[in-house]
Amino acid sequence: MKCVCPMGGNRTCPDDCPLAVWQGLSEPDRKAKRKPIAERLYKQGFTMEAIATQLGVVKATISKDLAGIVSNGNNQKPVKTATNPKGAGRRKGSTKPRKTVDKHAKIVALADAGLSKGTIANQTGVGERMVDRVLEVESARRQGPVDPVIDRNMLSMTAQEKLDAVIRQHKQRLNAEFEKRVLDEVRKRIDEMILPHWKQKIATADKLYKHRRGAMDKATFNKIRRALHPDSRNSISDKMLADAFDTFMNLEKFLLDETNSPTDLSGLPETLADWEKAKKDAIAARRARHAKGESSTLRRL
């Protein structure tokens, strides 16, 4: 018997061939026998499209006829268990999603390596649109979650007031933190740059102050000050004025430089005997002053 076989073209079929049996059935019998014949053809390797073509029906009809055996095949749903009461998800042991995940990872890796979209599509065996989609999903994953845009007008008046209070508090906290950071940085700069410079200057000035020698003592200073003050003009005596004048004149060499008050070196001893005599005279004069209770008005510079 001749029949059109989708698996092998035109060939002589055996008497038990499902297609041969189908062709020998009347129209009423075909409706009753279609399901078992479709199951036999499906088990022999025929696709649902080929079965529908040979039996003269649409694919949806064959899909309904094969619902029982197809559900027990590779597309079988997971068995309902205590941890999976609905039997949802793909069946255990399926590798198709894993291949998809591996392919997506390969697309991402090739894109990171700098390959073009067309090259990635050729190497992975997918379309460029799929490459775009995978890279778009990966870019979104790397950027992290994006906060939704919330319009203030979407909130109620109470919520808006609370939001405004939160914003004010947050701004105040940010301002306080910023001011603290600025002050800390200013202190740091002062401690590291300005203070060492001024500390060095203060130490130098303190050293100079400690080694400073005055041209007169405080008593001499007060004597001259009283003689020059306008309020003392009518009460000061001539003797006090004369003492102040003599004291001031004795300070001439300490207050003026050499140009304005040259040092008189005349009358210096010329021989050793003259030096010894001058030394004895100076010692005698100093002892005489000490005996009178007079204090020197000058200090050595």
* Structural domain boundaries, residue 252: 218-263+270-292
Closest C-alpha among 214, 225, 219 to residue 255: 214
User: Is position 297 within any domain?
Assistant: no
- Any idea what DSSP says for residue 114? T
Compute the average pLDDT of residues 150-162.
81
Q: Are residues 191 and 246 in the same domain?
A: no
Do 22 and 58 reside in the same domain of the chain?
A: yes
Are 203 and 230 within one domain? no
Same domain assignment for residues 36 and 61: yes
Average pLDDT over residues 10-28: 71
Q: What's the pLDDT score for residue 174?
A: 93
Please state which of the ranges 39-43, 54-58, 88-92, 232-236 shows the lowest mean pLDDT. 88-92
- Whether 178 has a pLDDT exceeding 90, the answer reads yes
pLDDT band at 177, cuts 50/70/90?
Answer: very high
Per residue in 108-143, pLDDT tens?
888 888 888 889 988 888 888 888 888 888 887 887
Which residues, in sequence order, are CB contacts of 33 under 8 Å at separation 6+?
21, 22, 25
Judgement on whether residues 195 and 223 belong to the same structural domain of the protein: no
For residues 257 and 279, membership in a common domain is answered with yes
Average pLDDT of the residues of the chain: 77
What was the pLDDT predicted at 173? 92
Classify residue 88: in a domain, yes or no. no
Whether residues 243 and 287 share a domain: the answer is yes
How many structural domains are present in the chain? 4
